[in-house]
Structure 1
Amino acid sequence: MMNVKAMRGELYLLCATLLAGVGWIASKLVVLEMPGPVFIGVRFTIASLLLLPFCFRHIRQLTIKQIMSLCGVGLLLSVSLQVWVYAVSVTETLSEGAFIMSLAMIIAPFVSWVIFRVKPNRAFWLSFPIAIIGMLLLTLTNGWHLEPSQIYFLLASMLLSLHFVMNKRAITNIKPIASICIQLFVVGISGLVFASSTVQPEFEITQTLVFWFVVSAVVATSIRYLLQTVGQHSVNMEVAALIMILEPVWTLLLSVGVLGESVELQKLIGGAVIIASLCCYIKWSRKNKALD
């Protein structure tokens, strides 16, 4: 029975990674017609409201302190996503950005060390140099020159790793779906405030824009996070992390197939090295836990 439950959870996570990849494509197509801050604000507000019926009872049980803590972490996520959506709007290589963003898992232990003085384990020190090599292969195809979108993706990845660290401390004894719903709502509202307080270019609502916006908000956000949350409940953490690494791979395949993106061999190798570093980090971390 447990095996069936675990297999179902793994399938949910696999679908979640695929929907996340679809979200990258949808986001790129939306920001071609809609300002990024407006997109983030409306997308995540709608997504949180769609998740609300599934977790309203759990949210009512939270204390004011817990809600305020989640709101603070949500604001951090909002900043990360604002940087990310700007990078998406200016990049010509979407898959490259997805691989850079996947580095957040490797950067997180370093962030935890700097802020909370929690020393990274041996797995981090072994896998981090591999990730750096992958990053160099991915970004320095034109000599020692970083493109603006690569810098913004890297900054967004760092901010996301900070969110991982702070979120882990904030969600103690809180149902994951309730935490996600509140944080997405904060991202949406803060995005709308930012959009309304800054000058945004005018845009026209077209059928294409509406279609890809619905895909992004409903399919790639609400349904994706719901599947991810349900899947993580019944799957070992290391296995879940390995499955989640597939997100940039799906993004690569979809960006080539849907957007006609061409990927240089060096960048493919760089992406593969980053994936390898993440796999090594998870494997070595699991080994260290077994030895403790």
Structure 2
Amino acid sequence: MKINRNDECWCGSGKKYKKCHMEFDEKYEFMKKNGCLMPNRNLIKNAKQIEMIRKSAEINNGVLDLVGEKICEGMSTEDIDKLVYDYTVEHGAIPAPLNYQGFPKSVCTSINDEVCHGIPDKNIILKEGDIINVDVSTIKDGYFSDASRMYIIGKTSEEAEKLVRVARECLKKGVEAIKPWGFLGDIGEAVEKHARENGYSVVRDFGGHGVGLKFHEDPFVAHVGKAGEGMVLVPGMIFTVEPMINEGGFEVFVDADNDWTALTEDGSLSAQWEHTVLVTDTGIEILAW
């Protein structure tokens, strides 16, 4: 159905179309006609939705700050789970992983060769030299945010320390590659190039994802790819960038005992950092980090 200049915009902002997405749609349709893969308009958040997602992200960031203050040798991953749950609930929010498709805990804690989706356990005790990814996702008033950070327990090896550092650099490179009206492939190429230059591999079986109105939305954000290819990244899209970088090969397997935790096939170390990113008219905004 054709929308007129003075009609209410399709995005739900309440603004007139000419003041909201009319110019956006002109560029969108031009690129679509030129063969570009465009996102569905339901992936484009309006100003009110962005503000609510931002509030969710503030809590998510607070959780990870708290974990950074408290995490230490001798702590169990169950202790981390309790920190996350208590802080989230005290701030009027809900841990998104809890009971998500049967996941039993409020946070993912992935240690050393665990790539992602590690399940907190009172019997898993952090020890000197461990590297651990803590992946936090928050629901606030129905809006979702998602981020993860790496933590080093005490002093670790030079090899592990380098992996954690380079994984963070890979995230930075991927985020820096995001431009309004750019392409998903720009992210993947930037991440993979930096990982390979440092002798590492990038996990292919898992990637980033749209987020905000649901825990996982389109698009799937691969961390390997070719610049100029894939879906166009338009203002109003919100998604995660979360490269998982392996010291050895990129192959992974899922632990048959819990059907959740992914580990490196060759037993090598893995590291991951994650941001939730908003594409704006002029660049990006990192909402959760």
Q: Same fold (TM over 0.5)?
A: no
Answer with 1 or 2: which has the greater Rg. Answer: 2
Which of the two has greater strand per residue? 2
Tell me the TM-score normalised to structure 1 length. Answer: 0.30
Which of the two has greater helix per residue? 1
Q: Report 1 or 2 for greater relative contact order, CA contacts < 8 Å, sequence distance ≥ 6.
A: 1
Tell me the TM-score normalised to structure 2 length. Answer: 0.30
